[in-house]
Amino acid sequence: MSSEGTVYDLGYTPYEGPRLGRSGAIRAIFVDSIRRSLGLRRKPWAKVLPWALVGAAIAPAAFFVTFTFMVSGFSVEDAGAFGSPDQFFDYIGTLEMLFVALITPTLLVPDRQHGVLSIYASRPVYSSDYLLARAGAVLLLATLFMLIPHAVLFFGISALNVGGLWAGLKFNADQIPEILITTVAYVVGYGAPAFLVSLYAKRVAIGTGVYVAVMFMTGALADAIPLASGLLAFKVLAPMSLFFHPMTVRDWLFDLEGSGMPLARVDLPQWVAAISIVVVAVVSAGLALKRYRSEI
């Protein structure tokens, strides 16, 4: 046997396997969106913020359940905001807004900033497929971001029931539809404006900053509305309080009065918040399709 090696040019091998077409491309974009949002297969710093927010969302619920279980005499009612699903939304809702503020620009802005859309344009996808896959990933992650801590809380509280876990689950089961629908309100109510801002932002940080500023400003404006105001200007302003709409929907679903909410201040019904959320979502979708029509 010769001890000398030989280097061969392996040349080029044509691909003759299956091609998954458009559905394969959409799946690839969706998976890439999940990875990019959570910083997976990216540099370490890309993981810090999303996972810190995930930790901040789950940790209090897990801590509360563990603490209640370990400390005798501490009851569910003693836990304040963490003691019931409707109040837990107050805490996790703000984190949810920060989470979508972080991930939505990350999914949309860099592809435009670095010219990657031209690569999508040479693949078997339409612009609507690209947007659908990106939006789908935002919706899934934002939904899980809210539901997982709620699940920890729900199962934890149920397990603390004096009759045991099963009895606790049956006792609390009537809250499940409200939790699910309120979660949808938060996801769409906070996700759609984030998507809208990300369509036009030139940098991720700008997109995140503008979105957070818009949400807090609309909240602050609505806070400035005097109680029981009959002025038309305030009646117009109140439905624009994007920050409060998911909370108003929650109050509507959980039969809470929500007297401090902007819509209540101008005597508008709570369901107007749901309408506002839908309108913003539809406008965002329409503008997204228009914005990307000549890109992909």
Partner 1 sequence: MSCPIIEFDDLSHSYGDFVALSGLRGSVPPGSIGLVGANGAGKSTLIKVLLGILKPSGGSARVLGLSVTEDTIPMRARVGYMPERGGLPPDQTAADFMIYAAELAGVPHRAAKQRASDVLTLVGLHEERFRHLGDFSTGMLQRALLAQSIVHDPDLVFLDEPLSGLDPEGRDEMLRLIGRLRGFGINALVSSHILTDIESTCDWIVMLDGGRVTRNSSLHEETRSRTVELEVLGQAEQAEATLRDRGATVTRHGLRMEVTVSDADPYDLVLGVLSESEAGIRLLRPSVTTLEDVYLEGDLGGT
Binding positions for partner 1, rule: CB under 8 A: 10, 12-15, 17-22, 24-25, 27-29, 32, 41-43, 46, 110-111, 114-116, 118-126, 294-296
Query: Is residue 134 within 8 Å of 25, Cβ to Cβ?
Result: no
Closest to partner 1 by CB, 50 vs 156, is 50
Closest to partner 1 by CB, 41 vs 170, is 41
Closest to partner 1 by CB, 46 vs 139, is 46
C-beta atoms surrounding 262 within 10 Å: 28
Q: What is the DSSP string of 206-265?
A: HHHHHHHHHHHHHHHHHHTSPTT---HHHHHHGGG-TTTHHHHHHHHHTT---TTSHHHH
Within its chain, how far is the Cα of 236 from the centroid? Answer: 26
Give least dist CB 199 to partner 1, A.
Answer: 18
Give least dist CB 108 to partner 1, A.
Answer: 13
CA-to-CA distance for 279 and 275, rounded, in angstroms?
Answer: 6
Query: Is residue 278 within 8 Å of 185, Cβ to Cβ?
Result: no
CA-to-CA distance for 84 and 157, rounded, in angstroms?
Answer: 9
Give least dist CB 133 to partner 1, A.
Answer: 11
Closest to partner 1 by CB, 10 vs 162, is 10
Give me the helices (H) in 76-175, please.
Answer: 85-113, 117-120, 127-159, 165-172
Give least dist CB 288 to partner 1, A.
Answer: 17
